[in-house]
Amino acid sequence: MMEFIKDPAERTTAATDVILAIVALGGIWFLGWNAADSSELLKILIWSAAIGLIGLASALGAAAHGLVISPRLHNRIWQVLNACLALAVSLFAAGVVYDVWGSVACQRVLPFLIAAGLVFFTATLVFPGYFFIFIVYEGLALIFALMAYIYITFGGELSGAPLIAGGILVSILAAGLQACKSITVTVIWQFDHNGIFHIVQIIGIILLLIGLRQSVLG
């Protein structure tokens, strides 16, 4: 029988993780609706996989934060979660390459980006106390993406680019808030830095999805 954790902040963190998972996984349908007729099927597949991995990581996070489980299982969940995030970042970067340099360039760099994600994930296993290694990888990918979509926005070459840039900017803000571990907010329920991160990240994902959809539809 499942037992929920008693810490109120951990409960809200788990709840916001569930909402983030629903938004991300639902976003796959939103982004891929009528994808079979799209000339940018590769782009849709890459972004859908990236966002789907974020949704899976959020679902795993909900279990890790919200359920009373053994330390061994807890550790395994976090390992899978980190693997999902590492691959999501790699696919995220591949999606940016697609929009900046095109489909051929994306296909060429995709295997290397996936390999890089696996390398950074392995680093978190070999050096478990140095998760900042992955944070640096994620941060570099987000900054690269933000600069790319700002450039595309001013060039006016892609519908939805401003919203995509906005979603990435909100995601960077969310990551910054998560790093402030002392921050807490109580609005009916208690939210710690993780819960606040999830709420802001949900906004970022929604903006990203709307922008991507516009970019595909033209």
DSSP secondary structure of 71-87? HHHHHHHHHHHHHHHHH
Q: Are 124 and 82 in contact (CB under 8 A)?
A: yes
- CATH class belonging to 8-217: mainly alpha
Q: Where are the domains of the chain?
A: 8-217
Q: Which residues in the chain show pLDDT less than 70?
A: 1, 33-38, 129-131
Q: What is the DSSP string of 179-213?
A: H-TT--EEESEEE-HHHHHHHHHHHHHHHHHHHHH
DSSP 156: T
CA max distance for the chain: 56
pLDDT number for residue 58: 96
Give residue for tokens 């009528």.
Answer: 34
- How would you label 122-141 residue by residue, b for 16+ Cβ within 10 Å and e otherwise? ebbeeeeeeeeebeebbeeb
Structure tokens at 18: 């569930």
209's CB contacts (< 8 A; 6+ apart) are: 27, 30, 31, 51, 167
